């Protein structure tokens, strides 16, 4: 009997313990959710006073309307009836100027030197204020200020506004490079004009590029809801620090579909400080065409599985050529930091001030080599590009080395041919069917990847003889023969 009683008591104790544990687990889960909820609320309370609604106004200039669409305005009717009847006359009348409004978001931030006594700077997107004739910002407390543009950088879509006599605090800027996929983030802004709207999500991915949104891309991807009007607002971590500027969405409907993009604050901060200090952005220039490594390239170069990017072309007269970088070098480190992709490397070079001595570590013939390069500015890059424009009067065409700008404009790839920029009417090139935008990949079966290559190939050919070009147009390649009339 005693044994039975002991067993019964033991079962009761186990049951009570299990019930207590289950209650504790359930209650602990709710407590954890409450703490997370409080964290979101704390961030909103702390940062909202420094986030602004940006209202933009621009004047669309007057222009003439087109002729009214009437059969009586046909020239045939005019020939027989003239302009005696009102219905036959031109209905072209000047359209009046009209005011166009736009909206977005922004936030107060501090420059490297700290806050000014009478000026506050606001960080936003260039596309929010582009073309504005007047800009007005509104804070959460209802106060409104006229804003002036301090500087813009369309290549990165960053803009800085300045307002006077404001005492609003600047938001703390975090370190976007330390963010990890899966971390909580908070987006704050004014979607569809709904002031100071907060949404929550996670970092979905980092280093997104090649989207065609900006020239320089290194986006943080998030599933925090971002909609029209959110552009320019802050993306925040749980400490209330800005880690990005909400910029764009991927959408088939025009609204939120779970994929939003933010400019990393490390990139935006560098650009904003340059805009404030000098009014322009100076980017470093190296002078190489680079490409991602693939398993096939790794095998061909006998490199193994080393991360890095491959130099496929070195521009004549560039800092890279002067320092001794060569086609076929594998860049594995830049300033002692590993290089893993083309977009990241390009952004890091661009953010390095011109004149900086940068150390680049490459693998050449399976041996590691450190090379010091003195970076130039993109202004020098344009000068070099101009020197690689080749005009051939005898053929009636002009070609140019494919720069990153032409790559974006024409949808062609740098390091793969030269682009035809001009064809003279009635010339040999025109009669062969060449036109502006065509990419010449070979001259007499010799590959050409720059204006200099093209010029050298022609020097080896006697003019007056037929020339064989391999031409690519809209992704389709064909051979073209240039012949002189007999």
Q: In the prediction, which pLDDT does 389 show?
A: 45
Of the listed 176, 204, 231, 312, which one is catalytic? 231
From 129-143, 185-199, 206-220, 258-272, the region with the lowest mean pLDDT: 206-220
Say how far apart CA 101 and CA 262 lie, in whole Å: 24
Mean pLDDT of the 323-352 span = 89
**Domains of the chain and any CATH numbers:** 49-164 (2.40.10.10), 284-380 (2.30.42.10), 388-482 (2.30.42.10)
Using CA atoms, how far residue 418 sits from 169, 285, 474, in Å, is: 52, 21, 14
Is 251 one of the catalytic residues? no
Of the listed 157, 329, 341, 453, which one is catalytic? 157
Of the listed 127, 166, 218, 438, which one is catalytic? 127
Helical spans, DSSP H, in 206-341: 265-278, 295-301, 319-323
67-100 pLDDT tens trace: 444 444 455 444 444 444 444 445 555 566 777 8
Q: In the prediction, which pLDDT does 22 show?
A: 53
Q: In the prediction, which pLDDT does 76 show?
A: 46
Helical spans, DSSP H, in 195-314: 265-278, 295-301
At 476, the pLDDT band (50, 70, 90 cuts) reads: confident
Mean pLDDT of the 268-282 span = 90
Using CA atoms, how far residue 139 sits from 146, 170, 196, in Å, is: 12, 13, 9
Is 168 one of the catalytic residues? no
Using CA atoms, how far residue 214 sits from 155, 156, 296, 405, in Å, is: 6, 6, 30, 12
Nearest to 186 by CA among 120, 144, 240: 240
Say how far apart CA 413 and CA 426 lie, in whole Å: 29
298-307 pLDDT tens trace: 777 777 666 7
Number of Cβ within 10 Å of residue 243's Cβ equals 26
236-268 pLDDT tens trace: 999 999 999 999 888 777 777 889 999 999 999
Say how far apart CA 377 and CA 279 lie, in whole Å: 16
Say how far apart CA 241 and CA 226 lie, in whole Å: 18
Q: In the prediction, which pLDDT does 245 show?
A: 96
Say if residues 248 and 231 touch (Cβ distance below 8 Å).
yes
- Residue 151 pairs with which residues in a beta bridge? 160
What SS3 state is found at 458? helix
Chain centroid, CA 340 distance in Å: 19
Say if residues 373 and 325 touch (Cβ distance below 8 Å).
yes
428-455 pLDDT tens trace: 888 888 888 888 988 888 888 877 788 7
What SS3 state is found at 473? strand
Is 37 one of the catalytic residues? no
């Amino acid at each position: 009997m005693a044994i039975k009683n002991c067993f019964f008591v033991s079962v009761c104790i186990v049951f009570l313990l299990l019930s207590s544990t289950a209650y504790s687990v359930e209650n602990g889960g709710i407590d954890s959710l409450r703490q997370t909820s409080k964290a979101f609320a704390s961030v909103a309370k702390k940062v909202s006073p420094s986030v602004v609604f940006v209202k933009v106004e621009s004047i669309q200039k007057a222009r003439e309307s087109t002729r009214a669409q009437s059969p009586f305005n046909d020239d045939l009717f005019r020939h027989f009836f003239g302009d005696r009847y009102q219905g036959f006359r031109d209905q072209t009348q000047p359209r009046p100027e009209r005011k166009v409004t736009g909206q977005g978001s922004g936030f107060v931030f501090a420059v490297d030197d700290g806050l000014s006594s009478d000026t506050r700077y606001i960080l936003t997107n260039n596309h929010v204020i582009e073309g504005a004739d007047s800009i007005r910002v509104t804070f959460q407390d209802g106060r409104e200020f006229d804003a002036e543009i301090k500087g813009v950088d369309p290549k990165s879509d960053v803009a800085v506004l300045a307002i006077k006599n404001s005492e609003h605090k600047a938001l703390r800027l975090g370190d976007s490079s330390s963010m990890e996929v899966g971390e909580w983030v908070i987006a704050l802004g004014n979607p569809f004009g709904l002031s100071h709207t907060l949404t929550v999500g996670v970092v979905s991915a980092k280093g997104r590029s090649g989207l065609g949104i900006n020239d320089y891309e290194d986006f943080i991807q998030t599933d925090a809801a971002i909609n029209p009007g959110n552009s320019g607002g802050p993306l925040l971590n749980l400490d209330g620090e800005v880690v990005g500027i909400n910029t764009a969405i991927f959408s088939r409907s025009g609204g939120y579909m779970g994929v939003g993009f933010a400019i990393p604050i490390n990139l935006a901060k560098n650009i904003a400080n340059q805009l404030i200090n000098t009014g322009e952005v100076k980017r470093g220039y190296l002078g190489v065409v680079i490409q991602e490594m693939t398993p096939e390239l790794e095998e061909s170069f006998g490199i193994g599985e080393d991360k890095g990017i491959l130099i496929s072309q070195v521009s004549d007269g560039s800092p890279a050529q002067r320092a001794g970088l060569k086609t076929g070098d594998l860049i594995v480190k830049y300033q002692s930091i590993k290089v893993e992709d083309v977009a990241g490397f390009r952004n890091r070079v661009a953010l390095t001030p011109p004149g900086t001595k940068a150390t680049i570590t490459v693998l050449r013939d399976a041996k590691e080599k450190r090379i010091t390069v003195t970076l130039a500015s993109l202004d020098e890059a344009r000068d070099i590009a101009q020197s690689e424009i080749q005009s051939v009067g005898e053929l009636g065409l002009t070609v140019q080395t494919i720069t990153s700008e032409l790559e974006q404009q024409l949808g062609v790839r740098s390091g793969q041919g030269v682009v035809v920029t001009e064809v003279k009417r009635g010339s040999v090139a025109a009669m062969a069917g060449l036109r502006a935008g065509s990419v010449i990949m070979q001259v007499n079966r010799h590959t050409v990847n720059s204006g200099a290559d093209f010029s050298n190939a022609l020097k080896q050919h006697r003019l007056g003889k037929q020339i064989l070009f391999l031409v690519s147009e809209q992704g389709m390649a064909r051979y073209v023969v240039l012949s002189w009339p007999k």
